[in-house]
């Protein structure tokens, strides 16, 4: 199966994750997709294919027979890995994706730099799912290519596909020891050429505000409207420290959900900052605002829960920068200029790096992720697959 057909098959599975189910994987469609992938990996000739009860897939491409060794290499025959995630973002529907191939000029939301290219788009009623089914298609197609071309000598390669990355849980049950790689790459970046080894420090925050409902006709000095109090908290945060007003290394507070009644309201935030000191300050600032509300309205009016999600992988990648140099060389060998930039987000690789598996991020090729206007230039996807092949061949 070619890479385009493979990707189009993958997006037919609805794998939207859901942080409210408390299950792993969080939605049944992910396990359905995982079963399909496990069988596909066996069919193309991968070995040690495993699918556990949490929806994590691992498989092996064995080392080539009669592969020459290079004792002068910085890394002596390391096992390397490639990882991608199966779920799609809850920010837009991933059900009944209607994908088609168009020329870039046929859609006004496609960047002009892709002019003349074939691009996979949706009918704009759903997201596409290139984040990260493009990454899976690239990895699987690269593995199939190497199996079909035994003349290309390579070391042992491990691949892993995870659930629930989009809700911050992709590494929760990833067994680094079982994976057994010295280092790995997540194929989860955006535009062609991107290479990332810096990401946000990230936390999730829930603030619950408790009110008191009284008949509005007799509410004077009695009613506490939790929605109004919650709004008071929201407007006390810096107005311009939000995603739509920040870029590059700038951090933010992002209100991603507000649900409430007079009696109770919940605010859901994500907190992001590349700088660890500023990250800790942002968390303390939210705690400070909750204390102010409780001073004004009474103890227990507002409660806060903050959960760290992942940290900036840079501190774990810098000691092994040769894996970044390797990725750069691979990109250059297929005619790309590497675009090294910080991730304004995170990947499974961020958490895995802190668990002992250095894991920078390489482009998967898609654009407008998490949006109904998501699209995937086919040449970008093909280049990502070529980069995988080059990395594998350059490891001696």
Residues forming the active site: 87, 165
State the DSSP code for 113: G
Cα(83)–Cα(348) distance, rounded to whole angstroms? 8
Which helix or strand (DSSP H or E) is residue 22 part of? Answer: none
Q: Are 349 and 361 in contact (CB under 8 A)?
A: yes
Cα(154)–Cα(69) distance, rounded to whole angstroms? 10
**Helix, strand, coil abundance in the chain, percent, nearest 5:** 35, 25, 40
State the DSSP code for 114: G
Task: Give phi and psi for 381, each to the nearest 5.
Answer: -65, -40
Alpha carbon separation from 117 to 4, 7, 104, 120, 139 (Å, rounded): 14, 17, 6, 10, 22
Q: What is the three-class DSSP state of 13?
A: coil
Cα(81)–Cα(59) distance, rounded to whole angstroms? 10
| Residues paired with 253 in a beta bridge | 271
Cα(377)–Cα(288) distance, rounded to whole angstroms? 46
151, with CB counted inside 10 A (0-12, 13-18, 19+), is: exposed
Q: Which two tokens stand for residue 210?
A: 């408790």
Region label for 236, one of left (φ > 0), alpha (ψ between -120 and 50) or beta (otherwise): alpha
Q: Which two tokens stand for residue 269?
A: 């935030």
| Residues paired with 59 in a beta bridge | 159
């Amino acid at each position: 199966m070619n890479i385009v057909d493979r990707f189009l098959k993958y997006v037919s599975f609805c794998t939207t994750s859901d942080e409210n189910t408390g299950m792993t994987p969080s939605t049944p469609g992910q396990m359905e997709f995982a079963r399909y992938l496990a069988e596909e990996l066996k069919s193309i000739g991968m070995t040690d294919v495993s699918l556990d009860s949490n929806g994590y897939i691992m498989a092996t491409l064995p080392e080539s027979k009669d592969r020459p060794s290079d004792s002068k290499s910085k890394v002596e025959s390391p096992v390397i890995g490639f990882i991608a995630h199966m779920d799609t973002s809850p920010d837009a529907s991933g059900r009944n994706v209607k994908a088609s191939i168009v020329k870039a000029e046929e859609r006004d939301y496609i960047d002009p730099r892709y002019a003349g290219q074939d691009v996979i788009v949706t009918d704009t009623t759903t997201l596409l799912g290139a984040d990260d089914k493009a990454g899976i298609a690239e990895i699987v197609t690269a593995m199939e290519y190497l199996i079909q071309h035994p003349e290309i000598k390579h070391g042992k390669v491990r691949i892993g596909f995870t659930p629930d990355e989009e809700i911050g849980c992709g590494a929760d049950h990833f067994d680094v020891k079982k994976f057994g790689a010295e280092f790995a790459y997540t194929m989860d970046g955006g535009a062609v050429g991107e290479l990332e080894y810096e990401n946000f420090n990230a936390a999730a925050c829930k603030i619950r505000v408790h009110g008191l409902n009284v008949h509005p006709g007799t509410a004077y000095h009695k009613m506490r409207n939790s929605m109004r109090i919650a709004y008071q908290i929201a407007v006390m945060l810096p107005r311009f420290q939000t995603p739509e007003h920040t870029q590059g290394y700038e951090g933010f507070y992002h209100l991603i959900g507000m649900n409430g009644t007079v009696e109770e309201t919940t605010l859901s935030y994500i907190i992001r900052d590349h700088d660890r000191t500023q990250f800790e300050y942002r968390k303390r600032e939210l705690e400070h605002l909750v204390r102010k509300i409780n001073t004004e309205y009474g103890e227990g009016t507002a409660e806060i829960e903050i959960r760290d999600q992942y940290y900036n992988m840079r501190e774990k990648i810098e000691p092994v920068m040769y894996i970044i140099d390797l990725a750069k060389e691979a990109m250059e060998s297929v005619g790309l200029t590497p675009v090294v930039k910080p991730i304004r987000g995170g990947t499974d690789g961020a958490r895995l790096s802190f668990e002992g598996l250095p894991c920078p991020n390489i482009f998967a090729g898609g654009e407008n992720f998490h949006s109904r206007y998501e699209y995937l230039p086919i040449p970008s996807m093909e280049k990502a697959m070529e980069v995988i092949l080059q990395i594998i061949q350059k490891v001696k």
